[in-house]
Amino acid sequence: MAAANLGSTSDPRPSVEATAEPVVTTLARDLVDVDNGVISREVFMSNEIFDMEMHNLFPRAWLFVGHETQVADPGDYFSSWMGTDPVLLTRDVDGEIYVLLNSCRHRGMKVCRYDEGNTTQFTCPYHAWSYSMDGSLVNVPGDLFGVPHMKAAYNGKLDKPNWGLVRCPKVYNYKGLVFANWDENAEEFLDYAGDFHWWLDNLADAFDGTPGDTEVFHGVLKWRIKSNWKFVSENFLGDTYHGASTHASVEAVGIGPGGRGQRRHGERQDQGGHSMGRTKTSFRNGHGASDNIAYEIPYPEFVEPEMNEYFDNAWEVRKERLDAEGRRLGGRGPATLFPNMSFAAGFPRSILVAHPISATETEVWRWFLADKRAPQYVKEWLRQYYMRYAGPGGMTEQDDMENWDYATQASKGVVAQRYPYNYQQGLGTEQLSELDRAVHSNHAISGEVNARAFYRRWAEFVDNLSWEELTDLARSDDRIEAIIRREDAAAAAAAAANESESVR
Amino acid sequence: MRIEATRHLCQSYGNCVAIDPDHLDLDDEGLVIVTRDTVEDGELATVQAGIRSCPVNALLLVDAHD
């Protein structure tokens, strides 16, 4: 058990490592057998596993905190979560973005209980310790600015610079998407994302390809579901297998751009989810997408002519721009950045974060994006489409929540937990990828290669492997070697067959 | 220019006294008192910093003729 750091509070601030590690009786890797495609239900139901996730995964992974347009001006803040820790995404008077633990250093009270707002000072409601976001008043935004009765209570000797709000040491703004990591030894964000960045680009860039020219709609949809957070991550990671059955009813309604009789994502005819060009992409470091960057489908055909005008033009501009850059046009997801940021970069264009509450409860947050420069009628059309698609009242999301809820109910029984889940789809049929340390499924709908890679990476984090080990394990992708061996063997067998044929 | 304190707002943070001891102090109860309310030439920046340092806005700089 690591000793809590109670002494010196010199930087880096101690709270990051001030929690006790759990007593390890279970190893995550013993519950995940990716070679045989078998994963224990305990991964999703066990409180012990949940504790291990909170200690070993969430404080070391890059987590999505919010969008920079939510803190556009100096003094703006947005309340978010990183795992089970509440944080404040802030912008100081110099325009810099910070991520601070939303917990007073005196008794832990939330210093800010609003969802968002503008202030240059957070004064704790409990005993009024005051923290400033104004760098001209304190050394670094988030530092302790003052405490009541400073002289009488502390004889004027409280070491204010060392009792500021805990600052997240690693924050990365990727084209407006703000990610943070509590572990100062963690790999850099761009290394962590790797070639998965193509999907983040499509999420963050405008529909005409202008880099980072998107904003989020005001307000984040937030709701709770009675299931494990990984059901959510896995669903968007590359589970296209559930679509036809789970979403049959919403397809019948016709909530998409094309209206009645058209798909909810708005693919034009013959470009639907069953296209064989839509193989999934799985990364060694756990990220996954339901498609690949070569899977190029134009924007939907809308019922409204003015919508077609906007999106046809956007597609032309994007195609020209990306072709000039030699960049592929595909990669719109749905996808999941390991561990809990899921998104789709097309129709809808939305970010989902599955905040863990307990082994069997998750708080889901959804952000919706639009082009900054889109005309108001386009934004309004998208807003209404997003709401009928996603969120607690969204028709597609309701379908998914039913599954996760009832799967949890039916999996947490003592007997049920004795029987693992099946992840054998497409075992040994993976395909090579042009992307770094990635492979593809060999089919658009079937293939659980993405989930197998996700849970392998998950176990490596949850078992608390060091960053050296984590980096080392993901330095190469052994699945690529397996594919090459398989293809070589098949080629050799074919050559041998040919030879025996010609001998005859 | 004159410094004014709204004493019932004061929570004895003491920030202001640390920054501007020439004008401000805490009394026996720990509440702010203005020891000299006039602002001489060259003092304005310090006075303003002291006022701005109050987390509960108990200090004001007002026009002398008010």
Integer Cα distance of A452 and A145 in angstroms: 48
Look at chain B and report how many structural domains it folds into: 1
Q: Do B12 and A148 count as a contact with CB atoms less than 8 A apart?
A: yes
Contact A146 B30 (CB under 8 A): no
- Write down the pLDDT at residue A7: 45
CA distance A408 to A234: 14
Report CA Rg, chain B. 11
Chain B contact set for A137 (CB, 8 A): 52-53
Q: Which of B60, B44, B65, B13 is nearest to A121 (CA)?
A: B13
Strand, helix or coil for residue A94: coil
CA distance B60 to A226: 52
Q: How far apart are CA A302 and CA A266, in angstroms?
A: 8
Token code pair at residue A185: 């030894």
**Residues in Cβ contact with A302 at an 8 Å cutoff, skipping those fewer than 6 apart:** A257, A258, A266, A308, A311, A381
| Residues of chain B falling short of pLDDT 50 | none
pLDDT of residue A21: 61
State phi, psi for A148 to the nearest 5 degrees.
-60, 145
Determine whether the interchain pair B12/A149 forms a contact, defined as Cβ–Cβ distance below 8 Å.
yes
Q: Are A115 and A79 in contact (CB under 8 A)?
A: yes
- Pick from A291, A360, A284: nearest CA to A330: A291
The answer for residues whose C-beta is within 8 angstroms of residue A307's C-beta and 6 or more apart is A257, A378, A381
Q: How far apart are the CA of A154 and the nearest CA of chain B, in angstroms?
A: 11
Q: B55: distance to nearest CA of chain A, Å?
A: 7
Rounded Cα distance between A354 and A414, Å, is 26
**Contacts of residue A128 in chain B, CB cutoff 8 Å?**
11, 55-56
Specify whether the CB–CB gap between A292 and A438 falls below 8 A: no
Which architecture does CATH list for A63-170?
A: 3-layer Sandwich (2.102)
Evaluate whether B14 touches A146 at the Cβ level (below 8 Å). yes
Q: Tell me whether A123 touches chain B (CB under 8 Å).
A: yes
DSSP strand E in A258-338: where?
281-283, 288-289, 335-337
Q: Cis omega before residue A211 (within 30°)?
A: no
Q: Which single residue is written with the structure tokens 């110099």?
A: A94
Which tokens in the block code for residue A118?
A: 């503008």
A395-409 vs A229-238: helix axis angle to the nearest 10?
130
Contact A213, A371 (CB under 8 A): yes
Chain A hits for B13, Cβ within 8 Å: 130, 146-150
Torsions phi, psi of A495, nearest 5?
-65, -40
Which residues on A lie below 8 Å from B14 (Cβ)? 146, 150-151, 156
What is the per-residue pLDDT for A151?
86
- Positions in chain A whose pLDDT score sits under 50: 1-5, 7-16
Residues whose CB is less than 8 angstroms from the CB of residue B30 and which lie 6 or more positions away in sequence, other chains included:
A149, A151, A152, B10, B12
Query: Which amino acid is located at A293 in the chain?
Result: I
CA-based nearest residue in chain A for residue B15: A146
- Taking an 8 Å cut-off on Cβ atoms, the answer to whether B30 and A149 are in contact is yes
- Which amino acid is residue A497, in one-letter code? A
Instruction: Specify the CATH class of A187-473 in words.
Output: alpha beta
User: Per-residue b/e over A245-276, b at no fewer than 16 CB within 10 Å?
Assistant: ebbeebbeeebbbbeeebbbbbbeeebebeee
- The nearest alpha carbon in chain B to A136 belongs to B49
pLDDT score recorded for residue A260: 78
Provide the 10 A C-beta neighbour count for residue B18.
15
Contact between B11 and A148 using a beta-carbon 8 Å cutoff: yes
Q: Do B52 and A146 touch (CB under 8 A)?
A: no
Counting one residue from A and one from B, how many pairs have CB atoms under 8 Å apart? 37
- Structure confidence at residue A272 (pLDDT): 56
How far A145 CA lies from chain B's nearest CA (Å)? 8
Instruction: Give the pLDDT score at A189.
Output: 98
Give the domain range for residue B17. Answer: 2-62
Report the chain B residue with the minimal C-alpha distance to residue A137.
B53
Exposure on the CB side of residue A317, measured as CA atoms within 13 A: 13
Domain ranges, ordered by start, for chain A: 63-170, 187-473
CA distance A170 to A492: 50
Q: Which residues face A427 on adjacent strands?
A: none
**A contacts of B12 (beta carbons < 8 Å):** 148-152
CB A387 within 8 A of CB A209: no
What b/e readout covers A316-343, taking b as 16+ CB neighbours within 10 angstroms?
eebeeebeeeeebbbbbbbbbbbbbbbb
Verify whether the Cβ–Cβ distance B13 to A121 is below 8 Å.
Answer: no
Please report residues of A whose CB lies closer than 8 A to that of B26: 151
For testing the chain B interface, which of A150, A157, A163 should be mutated: the one with the most B CBs within 10 Å? Answer: A150
Q: What is the CATH number of the domain that holds B9?
A: 3.30.70.20
Q: What are the DSSP E strand ranges found in A323-471? A: 335-337, 341-345, 349-358, 361-371, 421-422, 431-432, 438-440
